[in-house]
Amino acid sequence: MADSSFDIVSKVDKQEAANALNQAEKEIEQRYDFKGVGASIEFSGEKILMKANSEERVKAVLDVFQSKLIKRGISLKSLDSGEPFPSGKEYRIESTLKEGIEQKEAKKISAIIREQGPKSVKANIQGDELRVSSKSRDDLQEVMALLRSSDLDIDIQFINYR
């Protein structure tokens, strides 16, 4: 019998992220507390740029965007936001959506599987994802449960389960 396997990836649905940004943009335009403070949010290449005339207002813009991401099912672990910085007469925050599993995180996940998972399970790092394989599908299910309960710094998904 062939080995069963699945892949561990960290991906963000770009369409859902764009929808969350559009919803945040509409809310910012309509809310009374954002009137006259130059508050805005937009995609700037790969980054998401938030602007307002004070540090508190730009943090409020970030908060609105985070709430929209959560409603759309995107984990905040995927959002990498910087600190507010002054730029001319306004404050800005630049954020990026993290994609892929970095080498350091992949090694950490692999170590968790090796130390706490069933002995028959093997994890291979393949670029920005991990392939986990075993003869037993039950062991793979156990690894998925183990990783869901682990406190990881990234948002992970399980794909290609076969």
CATH of residue 124's domain is 3.30.70.860
Of residues 106 and 45, the one with the higher pLDDT is 106
**Domain co-membership, 91 together with 24:** yes
User: Can you tell me the distance from the alpha carbon of 9 to that of 69, in angstroms, rounded to the nearest whole number?
Assistant: 19
**Domain co-membership, 85 together with 121:** no
**Domain co-membership, 26 together with 49:** yes
User: Can you tell me the distance from the alpha carbon of 56 to that of 46, in angstroms, rounded to the nearest whole number?
Assistant: 24
**Domain co-membership, 80 together with 151:** no
What's the rounded mean pLDDT across residues 138-146? 90
Backbone φ and ψ of 37, nearest 5° = -110, 5
What's the rounded mean pLDDT across residues 132-137? 89
Tell me the residue range of the domain where 148 lies.
Answer: 4-11+101-159
- Asked if pLDDT for residue 1 goes beyond 60, the answer is no
Tokens describing residue 80: 């990498």
**Domain co-membership, 41 together with 81:** yes
Backbone φ and ψ of 40, nearest 5° = -155, 160
Tokens describing residue 149: 């309960």
89 DSSP assignment: T
What's the rounded mean pLDDT across residues 118-128? 89
**Domain co-membership, 137 together with 150:** yes
Domains in the chain, number:
2
Looking at residue 24, its pLDDT comes to 94
**Domain co-membership, 22 together with 52:** yes
**Domain co-membership, 18 together with 88:** yes
